Amino acid sequence: MPGKALKAALVILIILLSGIIIYAIVVFNRPELMPPGFYHPRALLSQLKGYSVHPWVRIDPTKQYTLKVWSTRWPMFRDGYGYDDLIDEVIEEFQKTYFNVDVEYVLLPLDDVGKAIAQAVENSTPPDICMAPFDPSLVESGLVVPINMFICDKPREDIKATPAADFELSSLKAVSCNNRLWAWPSWIAVKSWAGNAEILREAGIDVERVMLYGWSYEDVLSMVDTLRVRQAGIPGQYRKYGLVLDTASTHTIDTLMEAAGRELVFSPDDSLMWQGEALKASLSFLGDVRERKGFPEPVHMMSEKMLELFWTGRAAVIGPVGPGFLRHVRERQDRVESGDLFSGKETVEPILLPVPHPTGFIGVPCITVHAATVFMCPGTSGADTAYLSVRLAEMLTRKEALWLAGELSIVPARCEDRKPGFGLSAFPDGAIRRFLVGGATSGKMCRNLSFMTKERERILKEQAISPMMDEFWRGVISPDEFDRQLTAFAEKTVE
């Protein structure tokens, strides 16, 4: 009898287990048959893969959630509609689905949001969502939520997931490390200088070719020489200059080193990359421009005259310029058309240009990817709150990209959001669109994966590179001496 009972119990157990397995397989293939929750087969698989936040997290309808968002206060208004209105609109739409969610947001200047989020992560007090240039060094904090489970290889009907093919591949690469995606890409900015196409053509530059394929230091120096020869005998107050560059901080040398393939001061193993021939070639290029009278005098103060010389038709190239340059062009155009501003006698045809690269080197565009990063602090917010943050972050990124693309020279990360022109009406030449899209597609982003390395780079720029650049612009320090002093300072910081 005991043996028969044991066999019967075993049969029943096998039947139950088989039923559970069959049910699990059916639910796994048709996940909508079972409500979200910890024991959902897809949820169990997600947990096994190491994702605590996934599409099968259960949201408690009786619980009141509050999400905190940090973003940038873009000072733009179109017919009275500003960035605050955009966020309020997204929140209202989001609350139609998640009525028990409140959203609080803080808007900071673009230059401050990165510093603020780094400090908040260091103190384990980040918001639920931060919309800013993606910073991969934050991942090592353990507070950033990976979003792989919300992006799929192919379109799906069983869950709300976004096909990876919707995004520009470069934007996904920028927000990925260790085979995981750490943020929703919103839009891509291509590192650029700007030029007056008319002056460049007069100096023999094939503008469209440069925009599509780049240009070398020799190309720029040839343009500078041509301008100088063509202006022989012209008084200084009417002279046109080849380059008028930003002499504040490290902005100019940053873009030159990025275009030369040395986008980071330190390599991942903490060795100095800004040294030797790569550094000296960039500084020597600037020195050659100066010797050939390509800069206005005094050189160390030329950035103060940058826009004045550009709009009076006396600067062939200015830089670096950010995404807001397009907005600046449009606003000035609007003021000229309304009669509030005199356009001047000279014709200015503004265009965006790739940063020059060393001769013999194929320049690679550098990009900045703005994204929405989601955080989850252990013990202070659960997977359900993080799940809601992931969903809201996706809505915010798409809405933001579409709105900003109408005002700035940026490229939405989602390919389908790139309407014809996407805000480039101020630039009639289609080459600019091709330049931006091409740069966004083939460009790479500077990636400091270590917070300590990023801090070391910041200190080196503030305490050594920026002061030495000021000396360089004043003609006090040579490229060789710059290289020697920077190497010595970097070694000293290690000690």
Fold of 192-362+450-494: D-Maltodextrin-Binding Protein; domain 2 (3.40.190)
Does 88 or 50 have the greater pLDDT score?
88
Cβ 87 vs Cβ 94: under 8 Å: no
Q: Looking at this protein, which amino acid is placed at residue 345?
A: K
Q: Regarding predicted confidence, which is higher, 334 or 271?
A: 271
Do the beta carbons of residue 451 and residue 141 sit within 8 Å? Answer: yes
Q: Are 348 and 310 in contact (CB under 8 A)?
A: yes
Residue type, 266: F
Domains 61-188+368-417 and 192-362+450-494 share a fold: yes
Dump strand ranges (E) for 179-335: 180-181, 184-190, 192-196, 241-245, 315-321
Distance (Å, whole) CA 400 – CA 390: 15
DSSP string, 378-406: TTTS-HHHHHHHHHHHHHHHHHHHHHHHT
Q: For residue range 439-463, list pLDDT tens digits in order.
A: 999 988 988 888 899 999 999 999 9
27 pLDDT band, cuts 50/70/90, is very low
Q: How many CA atoms lie within 13 A of 261 on its CB side?
A: 9
Whats the size of the chain, residue-wise? Answer: 495
Domain 61-188+368-417: which topology?
A: D-Maltodextrin-Binding Protein; domain 2 (3.40.190)
Kindly report, residue by residue over 261-282, the tens digit of the pLDDT: 998 999 888 899 999 999 999 9
Q: Does the reported pTM lie above 0.85?
A: yes
CB neighbours (10 Å) of residue 361?
Answer: 15
Is the peptide bond preceding residue 320 cis, with omega within 30 degrees of 0? yes
Q: What is the mean pLDDT of the chain?
A: 86
pLDDT confidence of residue 332: 78
Report yes or no: 469 and 253 within 8 Å, Cβ to Cβ. yes
Residue 410 has pLDDT above 80, yes or no: yes
pLDDT given for residue 23 in this prediction: 44
Tell me which of 211-225, 315-329, 387-401 is least confident: 315-329
Q: What is the mean pLDDT of residues 274-292?
A: 95
Neighbour-count burial of 68, counting CB atoms closer than 10 A to its CB (0-12 exposed, 13-18 middle, 19+ buried): middle
Domain residue limits, the chain: 61-188+368-417, 192-362+450-494
